Structure 1
Amino acid sequence: MLILASSSPRRRELLKLAGLDFIVESADIDERIQAGETPAKYVQRLAVEKAQAVYERLKNRESNDDPLLVLGADTTVVSDGEILGKPVDQSDARRMLEKLAGRTHQVLTGIAAVSRQGVVSEVEITQVFFDLINEDELVRYLASGEPMDKAGAYGIQGYAARWIPRIEGCFFNVMGLPLARTMALLARARTGLNEAEAPPLRLTAL
């Protein structure tokens, strides 16, 4: 039984794209940054805590025939060492986008899988190049409400794609879940074996 410990519609979309059969169970954890915590440690810790919280809540449902496997993830945008989470309001979204405009930043996603074998976790990093943003386009984008539920106030798969001439790294990571790395992580978590030795995950019908 694969559980996605996230309410993110983008992560659900990506797991479906990979053909996986899963259930969504969101995790309620404290997402505040700890003192001295680096961006990589931050997203990795949150991914682990999300997966662990859901595993503890549901572990009585698992059986030998249907072992529980919980996937947690957390994504943030980092510019000049500053973690840019989801904006609190439109003014905050404008501040973030103006900070990103005409520069390069990093998108970090922590992924973690929890099973009876234990916890495995990793961090994926993608470099994202942003063009300068025309004021009229910025105003239109802010008014759309699209930036408000996204780290860094943008989504690469939406309107903001017009400002991103290129990236270095995993495209799906910028959406919120690096698929290839996630599949390898899930294989390790299920068996403690390498990916080639692990049995396949259950797939949805195509």
Structure 2
Amino acid sequence: MNRDDDHVGSKAVNTDVSGARRVFGQVKWFDPVKGFGFVLAEEGGPDILLHANVLRNFGQSSVADGAKIEIVIQETDRGIQATEVFSIEPPAGSGTAALADFEDIDPEVIRAAPLEPARVKWFDKGKGFGFANVFGRSEDVFVHVEVLRRSGLADLQPGEAVGLRVIEGRRGRMATEVSAWETALKQDDS
């Protein structure tokens, strides 16, 4: 693939011969039930379609509204669409207010928790929580919707492989961070 560098603002954006280019933006909204959502590019322009399959290729089944995202986009007969996701950051300000369950826990303990492989048992966005199981352990890990949102996700599907940072909290084992398993593997390698 032959790439040229275009510059948008202070960020380099790659363009290839097919017209695909890499852009930075923010998730306007994403509905995992509908299977799509839209991204607003930092440079402006029309909404960019983000299909669930493109997100799944990145290793996630959902993304939080307001999350920062780096994607490859391409003009199609149906408008501008994302064709690949490179990175997702949680929405701005999502880590500022602490959950009541974490108030009495040393922040260093939370940050030092290892990333563990887990599988989602169930998650109910309407109820605001769900449970997962760390591989090799039988006890449930409580996953709060706010922890999910702060991790840049909007929803979890039963059976989905995830990475969890888990601590012992007032209610037992609780997730403090959730990431797509593919993303967790990349973080663990760095």
TM-score of the two chains, using structure 1 as the length reference? 0.23
Which has the larger strand fraction?
2
Higher helix share: 1
TM-score w.r.t. the length of structure 2 is 0.24
Question: Which structure has more RCO (C-alpha within 8 Å, separation ≥ 6)?
Answer: 1
